[in-house]
Amino acid sequence: MSRETRLAIMAIIVEDLDSVARLNELLHRYNELIIGRLGLPYRSKGVSLMSIALDAPQDQINALSGQIGRLPGLKVKTLYA
């Protein structure tokens, strides 16, 4: 049985650079769902901005978003097509 997938864009604001290693571990664990990613350091504000494009079942997107949201110093929002 195939699972229906959804397209989504996840926006992440990284305010605590100490959480980046854990964030990258999570993204690596979910790499088969990721279409692409873009990270932009905004040094003058001391943050990084990331966007992650996904094609995955909604429950897996929600699981990843929830895990990211529990990391200290990260904010995440997800938009579905």
Tens-place pLDDT, residues 5-45: 999 999 999 999 999 999 999 999 999 999 999 999 999 99
Q: What is the pTM of this model?
A: 0.90
Sign for the CA dihedral angle at 21, 78, 6, 70 comes to positive
Which pLDDT score is estimated for 3?
80
The three state secondary structure string of the chain is CCCCCEEEEEEEEECCHHHHHHHHHHHHHCHHHEEEEEEEEECCCCEEEEEEEEEECHHHHHHHHHHHHCCCCEEEEEEEC
Q: What angle do CA 54, 32, 59 make, to 5 degrees?
A: 55
Segment 44-60 shows an average pLDDT of 96
- From the candidate CATH numbers 3.30.70.1150, 3.10.180.10, 3.10.20.740, 3.40.50.720, the one assigned to the domain spanning 6-80: 3.30.70.1150
pLDDT class for 2, splitting at 50, 70, 90? low
Could you state, in order of their start, the residue ranges of all structural domains in the chain?
Answer: 6-80
